[in-house]
Structure 1
């Protein structure tokens, strides 16, 4: 019989934010798989490192982060084929994914390639969004408030289309993710919208390198693992 694929959400970085189920499955794993960027160390593996048994076979997927999707798609094709070989041999495969597998998670690309032929179980994880709200001490939404989650590249695209203010003013709470090289333009749009005082900047939440600051005090550059929370606090119970 074929093995089972487990897509494991590891949470945002602090190993103690992994679920008990994630820790158990990793601890029982004979084969694990995980992505790396440009041949570097894997953030996902670093979160799970203390739980990986000695002797576990590791499938490493080197996934380039480029605007062109073709190189990453090819990397996931190669990774999926390696996982297939293990599954066909009757081995279960635990796939490590920082955050949640189905919330901007890398696992979804493997899921799409494997779900028709193999048993797949997805183990959800704590998301970066909820973690950032927690470390910033900012409740995100109450009662009927609307939360909009927007990747920074999409906000920049809307700026280029001439409609950035629609999204900035259209939600009770706005989360802007994946800042990286787009940070300066996102920050400028928020300032133009008059929302800087409501904005909190967070980078690498829950890790030893965590930074939480009012947006007005944020550094000039931001890493990919950073976001801005804009909470307007419209709930009348306040």
Structure 2
């Protein structure tokens, strides 16, 4: 086994691996992530009811027949607002039950690779498992290419120059707050666009940034679309959509 093979493939029993699987194209996985996907005892992943799960779909070319997999199916996703007490109760219970199930596997000495879209520590469900389990079991975080990095690369849009300040904003913010924060920054990434697309577009325009804004959906994935936000059709964007506003700082 070469040194690269060793780095990429080893997995220890009883360890939880938070595996960043990148923005969508399996070729963007790190060597470490790809090796662990192939070698952990259990490949675990989150998924919406009735769907494969995007993280699981990304690594499909790496999953051999007969691998042990563990599906964590959300009871709710975007059917009700996250601030709704019913959503918080259901999702909180789901995370508790998921943590308990993973804990049982780890106590049995199994290595568990929990897949995370993008990077495990960036707006990811993995963090809720990390918070519950890292005090009791060894945990290794395998960083991944973030969705926003994949998107600005695919859009051929350098996001910051010189001393530009980059703001990462959730599209779930109120319109007034979103507008204010956009007006105060040099460059921005607006995530969680989805059903907030119309609001996000109004805020970007109110901040005077519409001419620089780029809309991207399913960046690096099949069905990728990239266009100026000003040309984006009205309505709701898919879950995997974001808006980029590149900075205009010092260019030498």
Q: Specify the TM-score bucket, using the shorter chain as the normaliser.
A: over 0.9
SS of corresponding position for 2:181? helix
CA distance in structure 1 between the aligned counterparts of 2:13 and 2:246, rounded to whole angstroms: 47
Could you tell me which runs of 5 or more consecutive residues in structure 2 were left unpaired when the two chains were aligned. Answer: 1-11
| 1:118–1:163 Cα change, 3 Å | closer
Provide the residue aligned with 1:177 in structure 2: 191
Query: Do the aligned residues in 2 keep the contact of 1:29 with 1:52 (CA within 8 Å)?
Result: no
CA-CA distance at 1:120 after TM superposition: 0.3
Q: CA RMSD in A?
A: 1.6
1:14-33 maps to which residues of 2 (within 5 A)? Answer: 14-33=25-44
Equivalent in 218, 221, 245 of residue 204 of structure 1: 218
Q: 2:47 matched to 1:36? A: yes
Q: What is the SS of the residue equivalent to 2:91? A: helix
Q: Establish whether residue 105 from structure 1 lines up as the match of residue 124 from structure 2.
A: yes
For normalisation by structure 1, the TM-score amounts to 0.92
Summarize the alignment of residues 1-238 of structure 1 with structure 2, pairs less than 5 Å apart: 3-63=14-74, 64-65=76-77, 66=80, 67=82, 68-154=87-173, 157=174, 159=175, 162-220=176-234, 221-233=236-248, 235-237=249-251
Structure 1 residues not aligned, in runs of 5+: none
CA distance in 1, matches of 2:56, 2:178: 37
Report the Cα distance in structure 2 between the residues aligned to 1:22 and 1:163, rounded to whole angstroms. 37
Displacement of 1:2: 6.4
How many Å apart are 1:47 and its aligned residue? 0.6
Report the CA distance between 1:163 and its aligned residue: 4.2
How many aligned positions are there? 232
Conserved in 2, the CA contact under 8 Å of 1:59 and 1:83? no
Moved over 4 A (4+): none
Contact 1:5–1:120 (Cα < 8 Å) also in 2? yes
Distance 2:124 2:88 in 1: 15
Determine the C-alpha separation between the residues in 2 that align with 1:165 and 1:186: 9
Mark the CA change 1:51 to 1:167 in structure 2 (over 3 Å): closer, same or farther. same
Question: Contact (CA 8 Å) 2:162, 2:250: kept in 1 or not?
Answer: no
TM-score by length of 2: 0.88
